[in-house]
Every structure is written in C-alpha cells, then in structure tokens.
Amino acid sequence: MAARPQPQRVGNERKARAAKLLQSLEIHYADAHCELTYTSPHELLVATILSAQTTDVNVNKATPALFKRFPTPRDYADSTPEEIEPFVKTLGFFRNKAKSVHESMKAICERFGGEVPRTMDELLTLRGVARKTANVVLGNAFDINEGVVVDTHVERLSKRLCLAPKDANVATVERYLMTLFPRESWCKLSHMLIWHGRRACKARGKCCADHEICKNFGDCCDLPRDNSGDARRRKTVKKNGKSRKRAEG
C-alpha cells in the first residue's frame, strides 16, 4: 500500500493567507479545467501517460486518431506496442509510452475488469502511472481528491507564491498544498495554478508582478518585480521601434 503524504505543519496565519489566495484564483480562473481532451476515464489515463515531458497541446493533436483506433481498454490490450507507436510517434519517448499504454490497458482488462481503478494504490500498480498521473485521473475522472497534482507549473508557483520552501521537492510541495488548502479544492486548485502558470506567471522571460495574484501573493517570486508595469510598457515601446519620450507626472 502506498503511503499517503504526511501533512506539513503550518500556522493559522499561513492557512488564512492560502484561503485568500484561493479566493483570488477562483476569481481569475473560475473556468480552469483539465486541458487534456478525453471522454472516459481510460482516455484520460492514456492521455496523461502520454503527456509526460510534452505539452497538453501536443497530446491533444495525437489522441483523436489514437482513440478512434483503440476505443476501449480491450482494444489496446489485444494490440501490441508496435501497433500503438504510429499514433504517438510525434510525442517524445513514444516507444516507451506505447509500451506503458499497452501494458496499463492490459492490466486493467486482466486485473480490474476493464475499468480504470479508483484508488491510488491500484493506479500505482499500472505501468507509466506515478502519483501525479494517479491524482489527475482520480480528481478529474472520478472527483476523488486523494492529493494535489504537482506538475512543473504547480511546483514553480507554489514556491513563487510562498506556499512551499524554495528547496522543496515535488513530494514536499504536495504535502504543503494538502495542508494549506481544503481537500475539496485540491483538484481545482491544481488547474487554477496551472492556468496561472501558463497564462501569466511563466517560467522566464517576463515580469508578471502587475498581475493581481502575483502582486498580492508573489513575495517569493524569483522574477524582477515592477508593480507599476512601467518596465513591461517600456519594453513594448522599444520593441515597436518607438522612441517617444514618456511624459512625466
């Protein structure tokens, strides 16, 4: 049985701050959702396995033909990795991913009656499934909040927004998030953080401190902070080849 992450100790002040951040995220990203395209639990599992070290956009380009050719777990199980490979060859590590998809669907048919399991322990027995993938499937396919999905965006933002220490690993980041936020919010929380990371607080290349969330909660951000937004506007002016002198006052 996989051990459930133990909660971190945090004070009431930090929990109150996290509650305010959650409210702000809900205001800005009320429509946040999983951006992988799927119509069933097994399609979500397959898409999530394929998403390792690539983007949801790339996965969504590959899966329509894949899902049409293999509509059920049994169709994958009765095939071979070599038959799956042509449908996922545009994705990195496609041979390993094809093997993972084939073996996980075969296990689902042989051990779980053709249905995607609904527990963390059972999901972790499938090839290509680690805790992050299991959390994606449980939260989005079954509305089960067993943990928080921590991808690169969630890890980065958790540190920039002072939710976890800078040196925290993925497992520790998840423990902090599980402690700071109410369980019923865990799945939606990860989507909102991912959306903020993709749309505003990107890894590098821009200052996002003029966004309300970053301005109010990004005290630990490693990017240059310019709350007035003047730096961004000056960069835009320079990029457009304009040399107008900014009026004072």
Output the six-digit token pair for 243. 């040399």
Answer yes or no: are the C-beta atoms of 45 and 214 closer than 8 Å: no
- Residue from 75, 151, 210, 226 carrying the catalytic annotation: 151
Output the six-digit token pair for 109. 């048919």
- Give the whole-angstrom CA distance, residue 66 versus residue 61: 10
- Residue 132 appears among annotated catalytic residues: yes
Of 221, 18, 3, nearest to 121 by C-alpha is 3
- Residue 106 appears among annotated catalytic residues: no
- Give the whole-angstrom CA distance, residue 35 versus residue 56: 7
- Residue from 99, 132, 159, 188 carrying the catalytic annotation: 132
| Residues carrying an active site annotation | 132, 151
